[in-house]
Structure 1
Amino acid sequence: MYQLLRVCTCLYVLLSTSVWRSSFAEDDFDTDSFEEYEDEMTVHRPRVGYLEDDKVIHLEVLSPLKDQPPKLTAKLGVNLHHDNPSPPSITLLPDSTVFKWDSLRTQLEISRHSDTPRCHVIRWTSTHARPLEDCFLIGAASWYGGPEHLKQLWPVEKLQLKELPYVPHYLNNVGKTEPYWFNSHGISIYVNASVPLFVDVRNHRSDGLCLIADDRAPYLPRGERLLQYTLCNFDDPRQAHEYSVANLFDRPAALPDARMVQFPVWSTWVRYKKLVNQSAVLEFAKEIVAHGFNNSQMEIDDDWESCYGATAFNKSRFPDMKQLAQQLKDMGFRTTIWTHPFVNKDCPDYPHLASQGHFVANQRGDVEMQWWDGKGGVVDFTKNSTAEWFVAKHRKVLQDYGIDGFKFDAGEVGWLPQIPRLNCSLDEQPRCYSQSYAATLAEFGPITEMRVSFRTQRHPMYVRMLDKDSKWSFDNGLRTLLTTLFVQNLNGYPFVLPDMVGGNAYAQDNIDRELFIRWLQANALMPVIQFSAAPWDFDQQTVEICKKFTALHFKYSKLILGLMQQSVDTGAPLNAPIWWVDPQNAVAHKINDEYLLGEDILVAPVMKRGARKRNIYLPQGYWREQNHKRRVYKGRRWLRGYPADLATLPHFTRVHGYTLSREQKQRIDYHAKYQLFVV
């Protein structure tokens, strides 16, 4: 028999002496065994119970509809059963409930959040040897948030993660690791920043998202393990996310550079790779002007230094960089350069900088590390004096050569000598490195771009996607352009700098004409366009098509800047998935190849090789197509086989206050594949 105990105004606890089945599947949770909750109980309160046979805590959040399955089901403390513990003691406090296993030196406290009854704080502490682990059933919900990833499958439940150390890392492009997830049922989970977190998705449990706290690399031993997170229950995903943005995230403090929104960035990387030099940059700039394209800046990428970390130009490649910067300025270009936090061993200053303590050392005191351009040391931004030295050194480059700004690379914890010794509290390590790096880069102003993030939303910089491959697929190709856009926006980073149009042409990948055009179209209503491969590398028709879409981007640039200010003011995403304007629409929850600009523009790019049409789903409302100008469609339906030749980007604007005349209503064919109104 189950006994339901009143705990407080926020929580109910279910005590069980019966057997509950232990497999982690939705059908196995015997929700019928719960007594009916009292009328005064609001549905956002979770219910928890100890499962004696499984020796875990069972948590569920009920649906407001009594005949529906729970909105969330979880097993907390899934590793406890390995030690066959006795049932915990349970203490009922006014605002919380405490489960305590004395033999395991482990305690779980579930308490009402101080700000809202819709949220609760789940807090495990333990000095026992085993990791702490809580697993949430993915179920029928769609899940959002989580890390940037090489294969950015979306929604998140499509991705598999195997005990991923939740720190910014270069492996699998996990450069952005906001400890935040939420789902289409309105549930959100935000993990405390001090947790030594590992994340496991569809691995330990085939339908589970598991949070693990463990004292192993890349974290330092802490003595007491902590697994703490805020669990919230709202009516839909938009409500859940808006609460998180308002209460759990920082918002950008100001706008980044406006000119980068208006006109394309031109980079040397794809065209020249490491063979860049002064004459090549000047010739590239002349080609851009000759073909009639605007610019925000010319970005000189890898490899311009005399040695990596010298911040001095290689005189054989750039004999007069100051003259080049002036020539570019005379042609209407600003100049930015690629840089990084490394100093290679072949640089003359390396021994001195190492002796001065400017490099991160591991616990043994070793500073040497390997990165993609050699061996050396990585600058320790957690030391104030080192960060100040780095800023002064790079500002001198700007002043000496007339350069306008930097593209900062790397910054992930994975590049540090392991396990690093950093100048921040034990609870903050090692992610404080990426945070300190971002804070240092913010000193260089709004033109700055970086690629790493962890709770660094406040810095008004462009956060670029990691390098994309020149492919169509979810294997880090075009299909991930939109899904990475969603991950960054929904983690609180709306100032997204998409990677270069067409990808990076690494290894055997080639950028063909069709991929290049479709990539630009997909990018067209994102904040920034970045070229390196050039339209005239293909043919004149490609040039004209690309001018069409850079002009479209410029047309909307004022709106984009206004929406960026809205992100500063409210934290709203700039480019959201389409469910943002229809948050309870189960079809919209899963759409990963369309996106919004603000709330009134929907973009549905063609993302399959050879396709000249596509299916488009429109959320609620009335939507006017912008390709033929006169057609308005009623939402919450598919447009099957919508035509889109190589020069067409399907996009729509929402029509507010739209009503049908009697004549129009009479003309509707409700059995048609989509409803069309000509106005």
Structure 2
Amino acid sequence: MQNFWKMSFWYGGAVYEGYRQPVGAEDTVEWDYRENPTANQMMPFFISTKGRYIWSEEGFQIQFHRGEIRAEGRSEILLKGGFRTLRGAYLEAMKQHFPFHDIKLSKRFFEAPVYNTWIELTFYQEQEKVLEYARGILKHGLPAGILMIDDGWSPYYGKWQFRKDNFADAKGMIKQLHDMGFQVMLWLCPFITPDTVEYRETRDKHFLIETPEGKPRILEWWNGYSAALDLTNPEALQWLKAQLDDLQELGIDGFKFDAGDSLYYTEGDKLHKKATTDELSRLWAAFGEQYAFNELRVCFKTGGYSLMQRLCDKHHTWDEKGVGGLMTGMLLQGLTGHPFGSPDMIGGGEYLNFQECTNGKFDAELFVRYCEIAALMPVMQFSAAPWRILGKEDYQKVLTAMQVRGKYLPILLEVVQQAYETGEPIVRHMEYVFPGQGMERIMNQFMIGDRLLAAPIHEKGVTAREVWIPKGKWKLGEEVLESSGEKVVLEQKAGPLVLERI
């Protein structure tokens, strides 16, 4: 183990762990990141408010203990300093270690909402039900956007064609959705259902990950047991791409690249090219980059990639597994090079939570607060149909949140363009924009670029909240506030709180 710098405040590593950050001089915490243990993005990178950063090409173990840092890993761990601020360290680390790729991600993700069929249809995706969902969006006053058809549209994994029994005229359905103003994406995974034609074909061509003995690896994941494509094999990727090309010929605009978690792979398996389990996860993301319409949930070392990166499936709860983890996760995404983010599906993406909601466990207030937070993020994504599960008064709050987003959308799109060009976060930590004003630990409000301060409510039963307003003049609605850098209590009256710097 090595002794590193005496500490200031540090952020980084796994996006999911944002709720436990920053780490300060009085804190003790240890993380084992030799393999990504989470269902979200992970970077072998930590960054400090004093303009320092830690970087390695592979994951590592790191311990913060009362002002000292110790770390060890398989690769060299670099320690760099002298960049003065959090922003300075981020820009230098990005330049040296994760320079941004040519960003080809469609701006449609930021201009309009994403709608995902998962919560409404789960594994039972059907043509008429998809169209009914799309019609419901427009009928209830929400704008057209990107429609993702989730797991269940294909016969099985590896045969990436619409199942004929549920989609009698897939091409016609896609045209109808396009005519309504939607772009259409499909869910995918890098796995193959065993004992199928596609399994036998990929097995015989050695397109599958194999055990050290040369047998196809059958891995266990949340949907059961599958073989896995060898993502280090260019021919295996071409086999997959040929199927996706056919889907795009039908009119599909892009794909949601799910699964691919490091923890589903087995170290030491036989591959076309030697790779760690984290590297296999990264390769799945790299494959997805070629599409302007893409979504990724779990990745390793993909800072700077042309990807829309979603937070992992959130629970229908107020704690860090649900609403309480949205702002912290999005702030960590930005500080680790993933600016183009979505805070999961509004209300939570864990579909079992919504099945339980039918027994009186659904929390309308939570859904509304989730929506208000998402409305101020780069990408907002609906799945559970708010017009179905909310009463009239609460649904109006959803529409109000959409109006607030619309009001500030021109500024948001300017910041998105800056991210395309400079790689800087869209959702920015207060310390990133206002260094040295004592806001290092604030993780429940954020900046959109350098101009908008967002302070949505994230606690149950609360209608007003404390907001730390940096020095300067700010506009809240029609009111002008002049702050010397203090905390004030503001009441939320119509939609989430947003202050504009003037």
Question: Same-fold call, TM > 0.5?
Answer: yes
In the TM superposition, what is the alpha-carbon distance from 1:211 to its structure 2 partner? 1.7
In the TM superposition, what is the alpha-carbon distance from 1:577 to its structure 2 partner? 0.9
Structure in which a larger fraction of residues adopt helix: 2
* C-alpha contact 1:337 1:407 (8 A) present in aligned 2: yes
**C-alpha separation in 2, matches of 1:165 and 1:568:** 28
* C-alpha contact 1:422 1:429 (8 A) present in aligned 2: no
In the TM superposition, what is the alpha-carbon distance from 1:619 to its structure 2 partner? 1.8
After superposing the two structures, state which structure 1 stretch, 261-270 or 310-319, moved more: 310-319
Q: Which residue does 1:593 correspond to in 2?
A: 444
The amino acid that maps onto 2:325 is T
1:166 aligns to 2:166 (yes or no): no
| Greater RCO, CA 8 A, separation 6+ | 2
1:466 aligns to 2:331 (yes or no): no
Q: Partner of 1:454: helix, strand, or coil?
A: coil
1:322-401 to structure 2, matched below 5 A, reads 322-366=171-215, 367-399=217-249, 401=250
1:178 aligns to 2:43 (yes or no): yes
The alpha-carbon distance between structure 1 residues 568 and 505, as it changes in their structure 2 partners (threshold 3 A), is closer
The alpha-carbon distance between structure 1 residues 159 and 394, as it changes in their structure 2 partners (threshold 3 A), is farther
In the TM superposition, what is the alpha-carbon distance from 1:449 to its structure 2 partner? 1.4
1:92-241 to structure 2, matched below 5 A, reads 133-136=1-4, 139=7, 141-149=8-16, 152-156=19-23, 164-168=32-36, 171-173=37-39, 175-191=40-56, 193=57, 195=58, 197-201=59-63, 205=65, 209-213=69-73, 226-241=75-90
Q: Which residue does 2:270 correspond to in 1?
A: 421
Match of 2:283 among 436, 454, 462: 436
The amino acid that maps onto 1:375 is Y
Q: Which residue does 2:303 correspond to in 1?
A: 457
**C-alpha separation in 2, matches of 1:342 and 1:576:** 36
**C-alpha separation in 2, matches of 1:253 and 1:576:** 22
* C-alpha contact 1:167 1:177 (8 A) present in aligned 2: no
Match of 2:116 among 267, 277, 289: 267
Q: For residues 107-162 of structure 1, what are the alpha-carbon distances to aligned partners after superposition, in whole Å with 9 as ceiling and x for unaligned?
A: xxxxxxxxxxxxxxxxxxxxxxxxxx2244775x2211111226732224699765
* C-alpha contact 2:401 2:495 (8 A) present in aligned 1: no
**C-alpha separation in 2, matches of 1:361 and 1:451:** 25
* C-alpha contact 1:166 1:177 (8 A) present in aligned 2: no
Q: CA RMSD in A?
A: 2.3
Q: For residues 310-367 of structure 1, what are the alpha-carbon distances to aligned partners after superposition, in whole Å with 9 as ceiling and x for unaligned?
A: 1122222222222221222222222211111111114332122112111122433342
The amino acid that maps onto 1:402 is G
1:232-631 to structure 2, matched below 5 A, reads 232-366=81-215, 367-399=217-249, 401-424=250-273, 429-443=276-290, 445-474=291-320, 476-508=321-353, 510=357, 511-536=362-387, 537-586=389-438, 588-626=439-477, 629-631=478-480
The alpha-carbon distance between structure 1 residues 638 and 206, as it changes in their structure 2 partners (threshold 3 A), is closer
Q: Partner of 2:412: helix, strand, or coil?
A: helix
**C-alpha separation in 2, matches of 1:331 and 1:346:** 39
Structure 1 residues not aligned, in runs of 5+: 1-132, 215-225, 656-679
**C-alpha separation in 1, matches of 2:34 and 2:426:** 25
The alpha-carbon distance between structure 1 residues 507 and 290, as it changes in their structure 2 partners (threshold 3 A), is closer
The alpha-carbon distance between structure 1 residues 355 and 162, as it changes in their structure 2 partners (threshold 3 A), is farther
* C-alpha contact 1:451 1:466 (8 A) present in aligned 2: yes
Q: Partner of 1:152: helix, strand, or coil?
A: helix
In the TM superposition, what is the alpha-carbon distance from 1:455 to its structure 2 partner? 3.1
The alpha-carbon distance between structure 1 residues 259 and 278, as it changes in their structure 2 partners (threshold 3 A), is same
Q: Partner of 2:284: helix, strand, or coil?
A: helix
Q: Partner of 1:201: helix, strand, or coil?
A: strand
Q: Partner of 2:427: helix, strand, or coil?
A: coil
**Equivalent pairs, count:** 493
| Identity score, percent | 27
Structure 2 residues not aligned, in runs of 5+: none
* C-alpha contact 2:110 2:379 (8 A) present in aligned 1: yes
In the TM superposition, what is the alpha-carbon distance from 1:247 to its structure 2 partner? 2.7
Match of 1:643 among 466, 488, 491: 491
The alpha-carbon distance between structure 1 residues 329 and 584, as it changes in their structure 2 partners (threshold 3 A), is same
**C-alpha separation in 1, matches of 2:434 and 2:3:** 29
The amino acid that maps onto 1:581 is V
The alpha-carbon distance between structure 1 residues 572 and 162, as it changes in their structure 2 partners (threshold 3 A), is closer
Q: For residues 83-110 of structure 1, what are the alpha-carbon distances to aligned partners after superposition, in whole Å with 9 as ceiling and x for unaligned?
A: xxxxxxxxxxxxxxxxxxxxxxxxxxxx
**TM-score, normalised relative to structure 2:** 0.92
Larger radius of gyration: 1
* C-alpha contact 2:305 2:338 (8 A) present in aligned 1: no
* C-alpha contact 2:158 2:198 (8 A) present in aligned 1: no
**C-alpha separation in 1, matches of 2:218 and 2:315:** 30
**TM-score, normalised relative to structure 1:** 0.69
